[in-house]
Protein backbone atom coordinates (compact mmCIF):
# COMPACT_ATOMS: atom_id res chain seq x y z
CA UNK A 1 0.00 0.00 0.00
CA UNK A 2 0.95 3.63 -0.34
CA UNK A 3 1.88 5.91 2.55
CA UNK A 4 1.93 9.66 1.89
CA UNK A 5 4.59 11.56 3.81
CA UNK A 6 4.17 15.26 4.74
CA UNK A 7 6.83 17.78 3.70
CA UNK A 8 8.72 17.99 7.05
CA UNK A 9 9.16 14.21 7.34
CA UNK A 10 10.50 13.66 3.83
CA UNK A 11 13.95 14.43 5.19
CA UNK A 12 13.72 10.94 6.74
CA UNK A 13 12.39 9.09 3.68
CA UNK A 14 15.17 10.15 1.35
CA UNK A 15 12.95 12.89 -0.07
CA UNK A 16 10.17 10.47 -1.07
CA UNK A 17 6.68 11.93 -0.80
CA UNK A 18 4.98 8.56 -1.22
CA UNK A 19 6.37 5.28 0.03
CA UNK A 20 5.11 1.82 -0.97
CA UNK A 21 5.08 -0.79 1.80
CA UNK A 22 3.74 -4.32 2.24
CA UNK A 23 1.47 -5.21 5.16
CA UNK A 24 -1.93 -6.74 5.83
CA UNK A 25 -2.97 -4.25 8.53
CA UNK A 26 -2.46 -0.56 9.30
CA UNK A 27 -0.06 -1.50 12.11
CA UNK A 28 2.01 -3.78 9.89
CA UNK A 29 2.27 -1.14 7.19
CA UNK A 30 3.45 1.45 9.72
CA UNK A 31 5.91 -1.06 11.15
CA UNK A 32 7.30 -1.62 7.64
CA UNK A 33 7.56 2.12 7.17
CA UNK A 34 9.59 2.72 10.34
CA UNK A 35 11.74 -0.34 9.64
CA UNK A 36 12.58 0.99 6.20
CA UNK A 37 13.11 4.51 7.57
CA UNK A 38 14.15 4.15 11.24
CA UNK A 39 14.66 7.90 11.74
CA UNK A 40 10.94 8.43 11.18
CA UNK A 41 10.02 6.53 14.32
CA UNK A 42 10.87 9.24 16.85
CA UNK A 43 8.92 11.80 14.83
CA UNK A 44 5.79 9.66 14.78
CA UNK A 45 5.89 7.98 18.18
CA UNK A 46 6.71 8.96 21.76
CA UNK A 47 9.37 7.10 23.76
CA UNK A 48 6.59 4.83 25.03
CA UNK A 49 5.64 3.92 21.47
CA UNK A 50 2.40 5.94 21.41
CA UNK A 51 1.49 7.94 18.31
CA UNK A 52 2.42 11.56 19.08
CA UNK A 53 -0.67 13.63 19.88
CA UNK A 54 -0.09 16.08 17.02
CA UNK A 55 0.51 13.39 14.41
CA UNK A 56 -2.59 12.26 12.56
CA UNK A 57 -2.58 9.15 10.43
CA UNK A 58 -5.49 8.61 8.08
CA UNK A 59 -6.47 5.40 6.33
CA UNK A 60 -8.02 6.85 3.17
CA UNK A 61 -10.41 9.39 4.76
CA UNK A 62 -10.51 8.01 8.31
CA UNK A 63 -8.39 8.83 11.35
CA UNK A 64 -6.87 5.50 12.46
CA UNK A 65 -7.46 6.50 16.12
CA UNK A 66 -11.20 6.21 15.48
CA UNK A 67 -11.24 3.05 13.38
CA UNK A 68 -13.11 0.30 15.28
CA UNK A 69 -10.12 -2.03 14.89
CA UNK A 70 -7.56 0.78 15.08
CA UNK A 71 -4.11 -0.46 13.95
CA UNK A 72 -5.42 -3.99 13.40
CA UNK A 73 -7.64 -2.74 10.57
CA UNK A 74 -6.97 -4.84 7.46
CA UNK A 75 -5.65 -2.99 4.42
CA UNK A 76 -5.43 -3.80 0.73
CA UNK A 77 -3.10 -2.81 -2.05
CA UNK A 78 -5.30 0.10 -3.16
CA UNK A 79 -5.62 1.65 0.33
CA UNK A 80 -3.64 4.74 1.22
CA UNK A 81 -2.28 5.97 4.52
CA UNK A 82 -1.56 9.67 4.96
CA UNK A 83 0.62 11.05 7.73
CA UNK A 84 -0.41 14.61 8.55
CA UNK A 85 0.82 16.69 11.50
CA UNK A 86 -1.76 19.07 12.94
CA UNK A 87 -2.01 22.77 12.15
CA UNK A 88 -3.27 25.10 14.84
CA UNK A 89 -2.40 28.18 16.83
CA UNK A 90 -3.77 31.49 17.91
CA UNK A 91 -2.90 35.04 18.80
CA UNK A 92 -3.48 34.97 22.52
CA UNK A 93 -1.16 32.76 24.50
CA UNK A 94 -1.48 31.30 27.95
CA UNK A 95 0.59 34.10 29.50
CA UNK A 96 -1.74 36.71 28.04
CA UNK A 97 -4.76 34.80 29.31
CA UNK A 98 -3.20 34.74 32.78
CA UNK A 99 -2.48 38.48 32.60
CA UNK A 100 -6.08 39.17 31.65
CA UNK A 101 -7.26 37.05 34.55
CA UNK A 102 -5.01 39.01 36.94
CA UNK A 103 -6.15 42.30 35.45
CA UNK A 104 -9.79 41.37 35.75
CA UNK A 105 -9.17 40.72 39.41
CA UNK A 106 -6.98 43.70 40.33
CA UNK A 107 -7.47 46.40 37.74
CA UNK A 108 -10.13 49.11 37.99
CA UNK A 109 -13.34 48.08 36.27
CA UNK A 110 -13.25 48.74 32.54
CA UNK A 111 -9.46 48.82 32.35
CA UNK A 112 -8.01 46.93 29.39
CA UNK A 113 -4.58 45.42 28.96
CA UNK B 1 13.26 34.14 2.42
CA UNK B 2 9.65 33.41 1.52
CA UNK B 3 8.77 34.10 -2.10
CA UNK B 4 5.17 35.05 -2.68
CA UNK B 5 3.38 36.58 -5.66
CA UNK B 6 1.70 39.91 -5.11
CA UNK B 7 -1.69 38.33 -5.90
CA UNK B 8 -1.25 35.62 -3.24
CA UNK B 9 0.06 38.15 -0.73
CA UNK B 10 -2.99 40.35 -1.30
CA UNK B 11 -5.32 37.34 -1.18
CA UNK B 12 -4.12 36.03 2.16
CA UNK B 13 -4.37 39.51 3.67
CA UNK B 14 -7.87 39.96 2.24
CA UNK B 15 -8.86 36.62 3.78
CA UNK B 16 -7.94 37.98 7.22
CA UNK B 17 -10.07 41.07 6.62
CA UNK B 18 -13.04 38.94 5.53
CA UNK B 19 -13.03 36.72 8.58
CA UNK B 20 -12.34 39.56 11.07
CA UNK B 21 -12.90 39.53 14.05
CA UNK B 22 -12.15 35.82 13.65
CA UNK B 23 -8.82 34.29 12.68
CA UNK B 24 -8.49 33.08 9.10
CA UNK B 25 -6.18 30.26 8.04
CA UNK B 26 -4.90 28.66 4.90
CA UNK B 27 -2.18 26.61 3.27
CA UNK B 28 0.74 27.70 1.09
CA UNK B 29 1.53 25.34 -1.80
CA UNK B 30 4.80 25.61 -3.64
CA UNK B 31 8.34 24.33 -3.68
CA UNK B 32 11.27 24.53 -1.32
CA UNK B 33 14.34 26.05 -2.98
CA UNK B 34 17.86 26.80 -1.77
CA UNK B 35 16.85 30.42 -1.14
CA UNK B 36 13.63 29.61 0.65
CA UNK B 37 10.08 28.44 0.15
CA UNK B 38 8.46 29.58 -3.08
CA UNK B 39 4.68 29.80 -2.99
CA UNK B 40 2.81 28.99 -6.19
CA UNK B 41 -0.72 28.83 -4.86
CA UNK B 42 -2.58 29.55 -1.65
CA UNK B 43 -5.53 27.50 -0.49
CA UNK B 44 -8.06 28.90 1.96
CA UNK B 45 -9.01 26.65 4.84
CA UNK B 46 -11.86 26.74 7.30
CA UNK B 47 -11.17 27.52 10.95
CA UNK B 48 -12.64 24.68 13.00
CA UNK B 49 -12.22 26.61 16.27
CA UNK B 50 -15.70 28.09 16.20
CA UNK B 51 -15.60 28.00 20.02
CA UNK B 52 -12.83 30.61 20.12
CA UNK B 53 -12.32 31.81 16.56
CA UNK B 54 -11.21 35.32 17.60
CA UNK B 55 -7.95 33.99 19.04
CA UNK B 56 -7.54 30.39 17.90
CA UNK B 57 -7.35 28.54 14.62
CA UNK B 58 -7.23 24.93 13.62
CA UNK B 59 -7.38 23.30 10.22
CA UNK B 60 -9.23 19.98 10.10
CA UNK B 61 -6.87 17.12 9.18
CA UNK B 62 -9.40 15.98 6.56
CA UNK B 63 -9.07 19.35 4.86
CA UNK B 64 -5.27 19.18 5.10
CA UNK B 65 -5.30 15.76 3.48
CA UNK B 66 -7.43 17.07 0.61
CA UNK B 67 -5.05 20.00 0.24
CA UNK B 68 -2.01 17.73 0.28
CA UNK B 69 -3.67 15.58 -2.41
CA UNK B 70 -4.36 18.72 -4.46
CA UNK B 71 -0.70 19.73 -4.08
CA UNK B 72 0.42 16.30 -5.27
CA UNK B 73 -1.65 16.50 -8.45
CA UNK B 74 -0.20 19.97 -9.13
CA UNK B 75 3.34 18.73 -8.53
CA UNK B 76 3.62 21.05 -5.52
CA UNK B 77 4.26 20.59 -1.80
CA UNK B 78 2.81 22.14 1.32
CA UNK B 79 5.49 24.74 2.12
CA UNK B 80 3.66 26.76 4.76
CA UNK B 81 0.51 28.10 6.34
CA UNK B 82 -1.01 31.46 7.01
CA UNK B 83 -3.33 32.83 9.64
CA UNK B 84 -4.44 36.18 10.98
CA UNK B 85 -4.19 37.85 14.37
CA UNK B 86 -7.24 40.06 14.86
CA UNK B 87 -6.10 43.11 16.87
CA UNK B 88 -2.98 41.23 17.97
CA UNK B 89 0.68 41.65 16.93
CA UNK B 90 1.92 39.92 13.77
CA UNK B 91 4.25 37.83 15.90
CA UNK B 92 4.03 34.17 16.74
CA UNK B 93 2.49 33.45 20.12
CA UNK B 94 3.32 30.72 22.60
CA UNK B 95 0.25 28.87 21.32
CA UNK B 96 1.51 29.18 17.75
CA UNK B 97 4.87 27.78 18.83
CA UNK B 98 3.42 24.90 20.84
CA UNK B 99 1.14 23.91 17.95
CA UNK B 100 3.75 24.27 15.20
CA UNK B 101 4.99 20.92 13.91
CA UNK B 102 5.75 21.45 10.22
CA UNK B 103 9.51 21.89 10.36
CA UNK B 104 10.92 23.68 7.34
CA UNK B 105 7.58 25.33 6.63
CA UNK B 106 6.78 29.05 6.68
CA UNK B 107 4.16 30.37 9.08
CA UNK B 108 2.76 33.66 7.80
CA UNK B 109 0.88 35.87 10.25
CA UNK B 110 -1.10 39.00 9.35
CA UNK B 111 -2.19 41.48 11.96
CA UNK B 112 -5.72 42.70 11.24
CA UNK B 113 -6.65 45.92 13.04
CA UNK B 114 -10.34 46.78 13.20
CA UNK B 115 -10.92 44.80 10.01
CA UNK B 116 -7.96 46.22 8.04
CA UNK B 117 -4.89 44.09 7.28
CA UNK B 118 -1.82 45.68 8.87
CA UNK B 119 1.66 44.12 8.88
CA UNK B 120 2.30 40.60 7.52
CA UNK B 121 5.30 38.65 8.82
CA UNK B 122 6.68 35.20 8.09
CA UNK B 123 8.42 32.82 10.46
CA UNK B 124 10.31 29.74 9.35
CA UNK B 125 10.00 26.75 11.69
CA UNK B 126 13.55 25.47 12.03
CA UNK B 127 15.07 22.55 13.94
CA UNK B 128 14.96 18.78 13.73
CA UNK B 129 12.14 17.95 16.12
CA UNK B 130 9.96 19.02 19.03
CA UNK B 131 12.96 19.40 21.34
CA UNK B 132 14.90 21.96 19.31
CA UNK B 133 12.29 23.57 17.09
CA UNK B 134 12.41 27.37 16.80
CA UNK B 135 10.71 30.10 14.81
CA UNK B 136 13.11 32.26 12.83
CA UNK B 137 12.13 35.62 11.32
CA UNK B 138 11.90 35.15 7.57
CA UNK B 139 11.85 38.06 5.10
CA UNK B 140 9.04 37.98 2.53
CA UNK B 141 9.87 38.74 -1.08
CA UNK B 142 6.79 39.81 -2.98
CA UNK B 143 7.08 39.02 -6.64
CA UNK B 144 5.23 40.84 -9.37
CA UNK B 145 2.65 38.67 -11.07
CA UNK B 146 3.77 39.28 -14.65
CA UNK B 147 6.68 36.90 -14.07
CA UNK B 148 4.32 34.00 -13.36
CA UNK B 149 6.04 30.84 -14.53
ZN1 LIG C 1 -1.05 32.96 15.70
- ipTM, 2 dp: 0.89
- Tell me, which fold does domain B2-143 have in CATH? Cytidine Deaminase; domain 2 (3.40.140)
pLDDT at B16 over 50: yes
Domains along the sequence of chain A with CATH: 2-85 (3.10.20.30)
**B88: nearest CB among A6, A82, A92:** A92
User: What is the band of B121 on the pLDDT scale with cuts at 50, 70, 90?
Assistant: very high
Which residues in chain A have Cβ-Cβ distances shorter than 8 Å to B27? 87
pLDDT digits (tens, 9 = 90+) for A85-104: 999 998 875 455 555 555 55
pLDDT at A109 over 70: no
pLDDT at B149 over 60: no
Arithmetic mean of pLDDT, B3-8 = 97
Q: What is the DSSP letter of B129?
A: S
Which residues in chain A have Cβ-Cβ distances shorter than 8 Å to B61? 56, 58, 63, 84, 86
Q: Across the interface, do B56 and A88 touch by the CB < 8 Å criterion?
A: yes
The whole-model pTM stands at 0.89
For residue B49, the chain A residue with the least C-alpha distance is A88
For residue A42, the chain B residue with the least C-alpha distance is B129
pLDDT digits (tens, 9 = 90+) for A49-76: 999 999 999 999 999 999 999 999 999 9
CA distance B77 to chain A (A): 7
CA distance A106 to chain B (A): 23
CA distance A6 to chain B (A): 8
Provide the terminal-to-terminal Cα distance of chain B, rounded to the nearest Å. 19
What is the CA B132 to chain-centroid distance, rounded? 21
| Residue in B94, B127, B130 to test binding to A, most A beta-carbons within 10 Å | B94
Q: How many whole angstroms separate alpha carbon A66 and alpha carbon A72? A: 12
In B7-149, DSSP assigns E strands to 25-33, 36-45, 57-59, 77-86, 106-113, 116-126, 134-138, 140-143
Amino acid sequence: MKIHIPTPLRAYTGGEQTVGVPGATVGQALQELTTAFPELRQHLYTGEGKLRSFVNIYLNDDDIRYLPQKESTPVGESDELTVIPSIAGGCEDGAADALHAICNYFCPKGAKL
Amino acid sequence: MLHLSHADYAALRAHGEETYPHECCGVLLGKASPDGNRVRQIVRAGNTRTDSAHNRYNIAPEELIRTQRQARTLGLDIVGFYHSHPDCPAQWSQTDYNEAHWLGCSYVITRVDQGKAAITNSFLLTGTGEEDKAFRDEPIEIELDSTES
